[in-house]
Amino acid sequence: MNPEPLLHLQGVRFAYPGGPELLQGIDLPLHAGQCQVLLGRSGCGKSSLLKLAAGLVSPSAGEVRWRGQAVRGPGPEVALVFQRPTLLDWLSVLDNVLLPLSLHRRVQAQDRAHALQWLERLGLAGFAQRAPSQLSGGQQSRVAIARAWMQRPALLCMDEPFAALDALTREELQQDLLAVCAEQGTAVLFVTHDLHEAAFLGERVSLLHAGRLAPGVELQEPRPRSARWREAPAFHAACAQLRRALEACT
Ligand SMILES: Nc1ncnc2c1ncn2[C@@H]1O[C@H](COP(=O)(O)OP(=O)(O)OP(=O)(O)O)[C@@H](O)[C@H]1O
Ligand SMILES: [Mg+2]
């Protein structure tokens, strides 16, 4: 493994203007292709940490480094799937998926074909010409995921992306996520409240509590993982360990 992390949060502290200090010394290295999951109670700062990783906000102390260089703002290699889908309703679903690309260059027929493939893979074939407001909440979440995958990012930051989905769709998309990341070598920083989702996806699952990352759980199971991993005793042991760790964060 390349010793230089792709993304490295080093001694990061953060507060919103006029607010209390939310993050108080975060050290988080993430290597290319790795999947790091963040768990933590509501309001503990997970979304804020993702925004720091994506360069949307800056630390008040410490540094966020990307390929060894200090991050000064959002970059083209990082995509963020926000906690809310943030789609533009005056654009069709297809044009929403193409939006990040269209900001950089002229969209071509093969880009449209590619976007339609993502929509199909996410179960949205036939929805391409609709407005986002004509979709259900879970369908809108999937459009936001297609938009992120279209960017072929080196790092995908995902903020509870599957929260609005039913259990089976959610499991299918977790598996798709691992498959796509394996195909493209994508690293993932993934926020969830769901212990099973964390144990299915994560190579490392960390807990954010009181502004710090508590020691997490390492999951050695090779990826991409199949549905069999959900049945494995090691999976259930990891879920129980995560639950105890989360309960200790009170
Ligand atoms: N733009 C902002 N300006 C000021 N305070 C903010 C802003 N965004 C979030 N906060 C505050 O920062 C704290 C952490 O918010 P954040 O959204 O990072 O939490 P979270 O861990 O993602 O929570 P949840 O699990 O509910 O999504 C909260 O107390 C919130 O009120
Ligand atoms: Mg959040």
pLDDT at 1 over 60: no
Q: What is the pLDDT of residues 63-87, one digit of tens each?
A: 999 999 999 999 889 999 988 889 9
Q: Output the residue whose Cα is nearest ligand 1's atom 1.
A: 16
Q: pLDDT value at position 242?
A: 92
State whether the beta carbon of 211 lies less than 6 angstroms from ligand 1.
no
Domain ranges, ordered by start, for the chain: 7-77+153-248, 88-152
Q: What is the pLDDT of residues 162-198, one digit of tens each?
A: 988 889 989 988 998 898 898 889 999 999 999 999 9
Q: Model-level pTM?
A: 0.93
- Closest ligand 1 atom to residue 41 Cα is 25
State whether the beta carbon of 45 lies less than 6 angstroms from ligand 1.
yes
State whether the beta carbon of 226 lies less than 6 angstroms from ligand 1.
no
The amino acid at residue 219 is L
What CATH code would you report for 7-77+153-248? 3.40.50.300
Q: Using the mean position of ligand 2's atoms as its centre, give its distance from the Cα of residue 216 in Å.
A: 19
pLDDT at 2 over 80: no
Q: What is the pLDDT of residues 211-226, one digit of tens each?
A: 999 878 889 888 878 8
Q: What is the pLDDT of residues 37-73, one digit of tens each?
A: 999 999 999 999 999 999 999 999 999 999 999 999 9
Cβ pair 170, 214 in contact under 8 A? no
Cβ pair 154, 148 in contact under 8 A? no
